[in-house]
Amino acid sequence: MGTFDPASIRVVACDIFGTTVDWRTGVADQAARIAADRGVGLDAGAFADAWRERYLPSLRRVNRGERDWVPLDTLHRESLDDLLDERGVAGAFDEAARRRLVHAWHRLPAWRDAVPGLARLRRRHVVTTLSNGGFALLTTLVKAEGLPFDCIVSAELARAYKPAPRAYLTVAELLDVDPGQVLLVAAHRWDIDGARDAGLATAFLERPLEKGPGRTADRAADVAADLAVTGFDHLADVLGC
């Protein structure tokens, strides 16, 4: 890491799942309701955890060229089908139920600091998403939670998933800034590492409850980032917004 200059930042690019919104609570709550509608008893928290564990491996297969590009909804659906088969409940979930489960990722609750913190950051910076979520997913999620982003940048626009460099460089290209003028904000070490390798500035936003109770989320002490903050409001303080 070099010397970080807050005045050099023009764009704040925010990861979404886990950083801006609480994916585990949102997916688990919706999965519990959908399972109940189908008459299936489900440990919804464990189900959400198992589904999320398939996330990075599915992205890697695309980035490595082991399969053609597909949007995240398709990857989520493939992982879901496998998960339902493994748990022996595939027959209880028809096409409509599976679509509802995939679309659970389109509606996730924002962390409490997200809306006010992002609004403060917008006073001095362009604030955008930088997520592996598809464009439709992000549009629905942002609108539902009233998240004050200036624009949406999705991996779908890059046709590459984070942590591939192309995913990070696309936001700089689209917003006509140098990569070093973009601050990637994320709650995951792998995302911070990918952004740094692509030449972006980085801010690790610690979310201790991202993976729910009883599981350990990434910690600031274990992440090499330009900044470490506890929320978007804290980041706004650091950047003088």
From first to last of its 241 residues, the chain has per-residue pLDDT tens of 458 899 999 999 999 999 999 999 999 999 999 999 999 988 999 999 999 999 999 999 999 999 999 999 999 999 999 999 999 999 999 999 999 999 999 999 999 999 999 999 999 999 999 999 999 999 999 999 999 999 999 999 999 999 999 999 999 999 999 999 999 999 999 999 999 999 999 999 999 999 988 889 999 999 999 999 999 999 999 999 9
State residue 156's pLDDT score: 97
Q: Residue 82 and residue 96: Cα distance in Å, rounded?
A: 17
State residue 3's pLDDT score: 80
Query: CB-hemisphere CA count at 13 Å for 162?
Result: 33
Q: For the chain, which domains are there?
A: 6-22+108-238 (3.40.50.1000), 24-106 (1.10.150.240)
State residue 2's pLDDT score: 58
Q: Which two tokens stand for residue 207?
A: 């979310």
Q: What are phi and psi of 68, to 5 degrees?
A: -65, 160
Contacts of 20 (CB under 8 A, 6+ apart): 14, 110, 111, 114, 118, 129, 147, 232
Burial of 18 (0-12, 13-18, 19+ CB in 10 A): buried
State residue 68's pLDDT score: 95
Q: Could you give the strand order of the β-sheet that contains 201-205, starting from the edge strand earlier in sequence?
A: 151-154, 126-131, 11-14, 182-186, 201-205, 227-229
